[in-house]
Amino acid sequence: MSQFENVSVATKANVYFDGKCVSHDITLPDGTRKSVGVILPSTLTFATGAPEIMELVEGECAVTLPGATEPTTYRGGESFSVPGDSSFDIEVRETLHYVCHFG
Amino acid sequence: MSQFENVSVATKANVYFDGKCVSHDITLPDGTRKSVGVILPSTLTFATGAPEIMELVEGECAVTLPGATEPTTYRGGESFSVPGDSSFDIEVRETLHYVCHFG
């Protein structure tokens, strides 16, 4: 989807990895929290607390999920799921615009 | 303000200057458009179309506005206005979280 409607959005962003990843938290009318963000071309390891679904709006990356031995390529329009309390390696090849769904 | 309520937010960000500036467009219930964003420490020149009010949520910068000969320092909690169809120089000293108001 190209936009979320009727949400609240935090004016202060989350800045990770020296700005390689910037996101803003949003809250849906039913109280569900998500974030909308960007990851610049880089190779990073993200840790999860809650399980996450990363919905890719645009861009391309190679992701190595927990237990995987090979990376899988994902592009805009695709999603991948990450278990809670884990981590994943991501190589962003084209600037990634994403929505992160929690839980 | 720490968040906007009842807005729509674009899932695709605006990425400027190789990611030194990342923002998301939001639309208020009355149709007013704004953006919420981050500028990483850097020295940049921004061009304006519409007049802008830059409301600083957090961080510190030195801004040289059109016609000014010396930069002025602005911090979180402060704002500065930029005429339309102009440009301004900004030196971000501490990562800047901002809301951009147009028109």
* DSSP per residue, B9-30: EESSPEEEGGGTEEEEEEE-TT
User: What class does CATH assign to A8-102?
Assistant: mainly beta
| pLDDT of A1 over the 80 cut | no
Q: Which of A25, A19, A20 is nearest to A7 (CA)?
A: A25
Is B2 within 8 Å of A9 when comparing Cβ atoms? no
* pLDDT score of B103: 83
Structure tokens at A101: 């769904």
Show residues of chain A in contact with B92, CB under 8 Å: none
Task: Mark yes or no for CB contact A19/B38 under 8 Å.
Answer: yes
pLDDT digits (tens, 9 = 90+) for A40-59: 999 999 999 999 999 999 99
What span, in angstroms and rounded, lies between the C-alpha atoms of A10 and A22? 13
DSSP SS3 for A17: helix
Domain ranges of chain B: 8-102
Residues present in chain A in total: 103
ipTM: 0.94
Predicted confidence pLDDT, tens digits, chain B (103 residues): 799 999 999 999 999 999 999 999 999 999 999 999 999 999 999 999 999 999 999 999 999 999 999 999 999 999 999 999 999 999 999 999 999 999 8
Q: Do B9 and A26 touch (CB under 8 A)?
A: yes
- Does A83 score more than 90 pLDDT? yes
Residue B69 burial (CB < 10 Å; 0-12/13-18/19+)?
A: exposed
